[in-house]
Amino acid sequence: MTSTAHSATATEATGQVPASFSGPAVDARAALTLPYTHVDDVFIDGAWVLARGTGRNSVTDPATGQVWGSVPDGTAEDIDAAVGAARKAFDGGWSRLAPSERAAYLLRIADEVDKRADELALTNTRENGSPIAESSGAAANAASIFRYFATLAEYLEREDVRPFPRGGGESVVRRDPVGVCALIAPWNFPINLMVIKLAPALLAGCTVVMKPASPTPLSFRLIVDAVAAAGVPAGVVNLVTGSGKLGDTLVRHLGVDKVAFTGSTPVGRKIAAACGELLRPVTLELGGKSSAIVLPDADLDAMSNGLVRSCMRNTGQTCYISTRILAPAGRYDEVVDMVTATIAAGVQGDPLDPATVFGPAATESQYRTVLEYVDAGRAEGARVTTGGRVARLGGGLEGGFFVEPTVFADVTPTMRISREEIFGPVISVLKYTDVDEAVALANNTEFGLGGLVFGTDQDAALAVADRMDTGSVGINFFASNHSAPFGGRHDSGLGTEYGIEGLNAYLSYKSIHRRP
Ligand code: NAP
Ligand code: MG
């Protein structure tokens, strides 16, 4: 198989740059004017207000290593004020609006997000190095998440009266909002992983205090601006910035009724422990180590076209991607060649360039982590077929955190690169002898988030997907669907997001029994 048969373009790999995108050329980096760079305020009770403390955290462009922004390192006083404002707004009427009235706000927010799409994409890319094709898709996706949840108002308004099984009365079932919610997001998709919490929380009638990840504290301010422009009442939405310590303060605040978190498994465990002690409902979307099972009848050309999106999306910094590829022994070399050629053909470069498929690692510490895993893979005897080094880029990107997209062949199930979440551009290709072994290999992990089956026979592929012990599986492609539940099993999390199931996470049921 030749490498040209499997070349991946940026469009195939990371999605189309919307025609409306009017971002700058690469050499315009220095001239970029973004709405938010160095800021000293947080959003509390309907206004940007000075943060209480004096600490600051810097924002670094991972493509250059240069600091270009900074935000307040919030304090317990900021959290107190934000939770207090959220409580007041909850009690003050937001929770009692008809769901369709709240849905109307969601639709207005979506329109306001659309107006800010370019600024959102550029800010996101400068914060975390996501290829601009990826981050412009994120802004459009954020608007569509708000629109999707607006459609669920009807579900909330539907009357739910259930007779007692043996007669003699009935129960009116109410779906009340759970209260003030703490929303905490990671840096890899800083916009959507917060919006997927914010939209259902608002529709349900909850009010929120949000804390973005330290590397990505600026992009979400534009969503907050959209919320304010949509006329959402003061106090319904609050945003604080600060470290993980501030996140912990927020999680434990006595005024918080529910916590929704996306991030790493170790931090998720700490949050679960805190919420356990407080008997506070919690949703956790955590790490993963997902597998793509290549069935013997798989179409490798088709697989190649979607490979970056399925297995190395966002420079490998996506929770559900299948970074372990399980290939049948009879086609092992063919699969290794295809994966190697496809990954090697993806352009690595300035994430502001729409042609870029692979950007930098989002942070310096993530960059070091990825390089450590590459070293570990070599030390344990795996074979690098492409990449495997620091990527040296010119044109002002010399200080960036670029690791070459890397493929390892001859990986065995016990190697660290096969078991642990790397969260960078590293794929392992393992060999299996029969489908039972492939399923066992895929399920032999502490995680259970995503997965893929590549195969031509749809029924056979579905039968294998049914045997995979994970929250989501794709057949020949992977994408999350706003209306289908997304969540992790085992160490990948607790509860679900998206769909009616994701809305339920922000509801508290009440049954009123009566004999009319
Ligand atoms: P992380 O280190 O766990 O941090 C996530 C968020 O939690 C950040 O806002 C962080 O703030 C905050 N935080 C840290 N310690 C905290 C504590 N003790 N209490 C409360 N909040 C705390 O994760 P990350 O490094 O940002 O993101 C990468 C991880 O996210 C990967 O493991 C990835 O798999 C996972 N992820 C999962 C999904 C999913 O849907 N399942 C999606 C995307 C990513 P600081 O940034 O200030 O530390
Ligand atoms: Mg972290």
List, for residues 447-486, the tens digit of each pLDDT value: 999 999 999 999 999 999 999 999 999 999 999 999 999 9
Q: State in Å: Cα 215 to ligand 2 middle.
A: 9
Q: Which atom of ligand 1 is nearest to the CA of 285?
A: 41
Cα distances (angstroms) measured from residue 208 to each of 83, 186, 309, 435: 8, 17, 32, 46
Ligand 1 pocket check for 262: Cβ under 6 Å = yes
Q: Which atom of ligand 1 is nearest to the CA of 449?
A: 41
Ligand 1 pocket check for 251: Cβ under 6 Å = yes
Ligand 1 pocket check for 44: Cβ under 6 Å = no
424 neighbors 361 (Cβ within 8 angstroms):
yes
Ligand nearest to the CA of 187: 1
- pLDDT at residue number 16: 37
Ligand 1 pocket check for 128: Cβ under 6 Å = no
Helix (H) / strand (E) element for 60: namely: strand 56-61
pTM (whole model) above 0.85 = yes
3-state secondary structure 220-279: HHHHHHHHHHCCCCCCCEEECCCCHHHHHHHHHCCCCCEEEEECCHHHHHHHHHHHHHHC
- Give the SS3 label for residue 511: strand
Q: State in Å: Cα 182 to ligand 2 middle.
A: 18
Catalytic residues, by residue number, are 285, 319
Ligand nearest to the CA of 263: 1
Q: State in Å: Cα 185 to ligand 2 middle.
A: 10
Distance (Å, whole) CA 165 – CA 176: 24
As a whole number, mean pLDDT of residues 221-239 equals 98
Ligand 1 pocket check for 213: Cβ under 6 Å = yes
- pLDDT at residue number 24: 45
Q: State in Å: Cα 424 to ligand 2 middle.
A: 13
253 neighbors 84 (Cβ within 8 angstroms):
no
Ligand 1 pocket check for 211: Cβ under 6 Å = yes
Closest CA relative to residue 439, chosen from 412, 407, 466: 466
pLDDT digits (tens, 9 = 90+) for 267-300: 999 999 999 999 999 999 999 999 999 999 999 9
**In this structure, which topology does domain 40-65+73-286+491-512 adopt according to CATH?**
Aldehyde Dehydrogenase; Chain A, domain 1 (3.40.605)
Ligand 1 pocket check for 316: Cβ under 6 Å = no
Model confidence at 62, pLDDT cuts 50, 70, 90, reads: very high
pLDDT digits (tens, 9 = 90+) for 123-172: 999 999 999 999 999 889 999 999 999 999 999 999 999 999 999 999 99
Nearest alpha carbon, ligand 1 atom 40: 285
Q: Is a pLDDT exceeding 70 seen at residue 20?
A: no
For the chain, what are the domain ranges?
40-65+73-286+491-512, 291-481
The DSSP output letter for 26 is G
Q: Give the homologous superfamily in CATH for domain 291-481.
A: Aldehyde Dehydrogenase; Chain A, domain 2 (3.40.309.10)
Most informative mutation of 60, 127, 183, 188 for ligand 1 (most atoms within 8 A of CB): 188
19-23, 107-111, 138-142, 483-487: which range is least confident on average? 19-23
Nearest alpha carbon, ligand 1 atom 32: 264
Q: Is a pLDDT exceeding 50 seen at residue 19?
A: no
> What average pLDDT does the structure give for the chain?
94
